[in-house]
A and B are shown apart, each in its own frame.
Chain A
Amino acid sequence: MKQTIKRIAAVARMTMSDIIRQKSFIVLFIIAVLFLLLVRGCWGMKMNVNGQVMSGGKFALQILQTVFFVISSMVMFIAGLLAMRLFRRDRDEGMQAFVLSKPVTRLSYITCKVGGLVLIMTAFMFLLHGAILIIHFLHAGEVTAGYLAASSMSVLNVLFAVLAVSLLSLLIPEIFAFLAAFGVTALAFIFDGIAAATRSSAVQSILSQSGAQAAGLDSLTWWKVVYWIWPKAGTLGANAASLIDPTAVIAVNDMLIPLVSMAVYCIALAVLVVIKFDREEIV
Chain B
Amino acid sequence: MNGAKIEYTQVTKRFGAVTAVDNVSFTVAPGECIALLGPNGAGKTTLVRLLLDFTRASAGTVAVDGTPSSDIRARMGVGYLPENVRMPGHLTGLQYLMRCADLLGMTKQDAAVRCREAVALTGMTGKENIAVKTYSKGMSQRIALAAALIGDTRLLILDEPTSGLDPIGIREIRVILENLKLKGMTILLNSHLLSEVEKVCDAALIIDRGTVIVKDTIASIVKDGETLEDVFVRLVAPGRVS
User: Which A residues contact B (CB, under 8 angstroms)?
Assistant: 2-4, 6-7, 10-11, 13-14, 18, 21, 92-95, 97-105, 279, 281-283
Contacts and interface: CB of A to CB of B under 8 A. Distances in A.
Contacts of B82: 94, 97
B103 A282 contact: no
A4 B103 CA distance: 9
Contacts of B105: 2-4, 6-7, 10
Interface residues of B, number: 27
Nearest to B101: A10
B90 A10 contact: no
Contacts of A97: 52, 54, 80, 82
A104 B103 contact: yes
Interface of B: 49, 52-56, 72-73, 75-76, 78, 80, 82, 84-90, 99-100, 102-105, 147
Given A94-B87, A281-B55, A99 B72 contact: no
Contacts of A10: 99, 102-103, 105
B90 A21 contact: yes
B55 A282 contact: yes
B130 to A, nearest CB: 17
Interface SS of A by simple majority: helix
Contacts of A281: 49, 54-55
A7 B147 CA distance: 16
B86 A92 contact: yes
A29 to B, nearest CB: 18
Given A92-B86, A103-B76, A281-B49, 14 more contacts: A3-B105, A4-B105, A14-B102, A18-B88, A93-B89, A94-B87, A97-B82, A98-B99, A98-B147, A100-B54, A101-B52, A101-B54, A102-B100, A282-B49
Nearest to A89: B88
11 contacts: A97-B52, A99-B103, A100-B53, A101-B52, A101-B80, A102-B75, A102-B100, A103-B72, A282-B52, A282-B54, A282-B55
Report which residue of A4, A6, A101, A104 has the largest number of chain B beta carbons within 10 angstroms of its beta carbon: A101
Contacts of A18: 88
A99 B88 CA distance: 13
Contacts of A93: 86-89
A283 B55 CA distance: 9
Contact of B72 (A13, A14, A105, A282): A105
A98 B84 CA distance: 12
Nearest to A93: B88
A89 to B, nearest CB: 9
A101 B78 contact: yes
